[in-house]
Chains A and B, each alone.
Chain A
Amino acid sequence: ETGVTQTPRHLVMGMTNKKSLKCEQHLGHNAMYWYKQSAKKPLELMFVYNFKEQTENNSVPSRFSPECPNSSHLFLHLHTLQPEDSALYLCASSQGSGGQTIYEQYFGPGTRLTVT
């Protein structure tokens, strides 16, 4: 496996379900990100992890819960979602985050989530 992988690629869940999205990066990067991409809206940054520590949370509702057990893996735990949470969820990684040097991000293919 190379680059950034995400599973599952598609997910349909009811509002009372609990599910998790998984992201793995094989690039040796230290920073990982979760983004939400909705139709006709800009890409929205949700969470940033740098060396496994959460450094940014952009006022995301608590029904989204991130977990970063190590620099290569990132999870997004979902529970009691709403239909408006249906979107493409993209994971990304970069060499680092913060500081004087800003690095480009490498994105995974995304998980298409539908909440019914």
Chain B
Amino acid sequence: GQNIDQPTEMTATEGAIVQINCTYQTSGFNGLFWYQQHAGEAPTFLSYNVLDGLEEKGRFSSFLSRSKGYSYLLLKELQMKDSASYLCAVADNYGQNFVFGPGTRLSVLP
């Protein structure tokens, strides 16, 4: 079966660091994506990991451990505009099917 878990909601303070976890159990794996979705808007791409390790992109970093079925998205120097839902998604072995997690709603407080 396909199962992806993320915390439903998280709260953090402006300027802080927050880590959003994602665990997955899927029948195949060809990479893991993180997307950001502001309320009422389309998801936008943040990062892609296919090999174990950390990928850094400015204030955002994403980590993957394939043996543990685990990823996290790290957001540094939080800003108010980072308040959004963060979606974790796994591509299957053939890269045709994408399974999304339920999303984590992050609220950044002043």
Contacts and interface: CB of A to CB of B under 8 A. Distances in A.
Given A41-B102, A42-B4, A104 B33 contact: yes
A71 interface: no
Contact of B102 (A42, A48, A56, A100): A42
Contacts of B44: 107
Given A98-B94, A99-B95, A42 B101 contact: yes
B96 A56 contact: yes
Residue picked from A41, A102, A105, A107, most chain B C-beta under 10 Å? A102
A32 interface: no
A106 interface: yes
A43 B87 contact: yes
Q: Is the interface of A mostly helix, strand, loop or mixed?
A: loop
Interface string A56-98: 1010000000000000000000000000000000100000011
Contacts of A48: 96-97
B48 A104 contact: yes
Interface of B: 4, 30-31, 33, 41-45, 48, 50, 87, 89, 91, 94-103
Interface of A: 4, 33, 40-45, 48, 50, 55-56, 58, 90, 97-102, 104-110
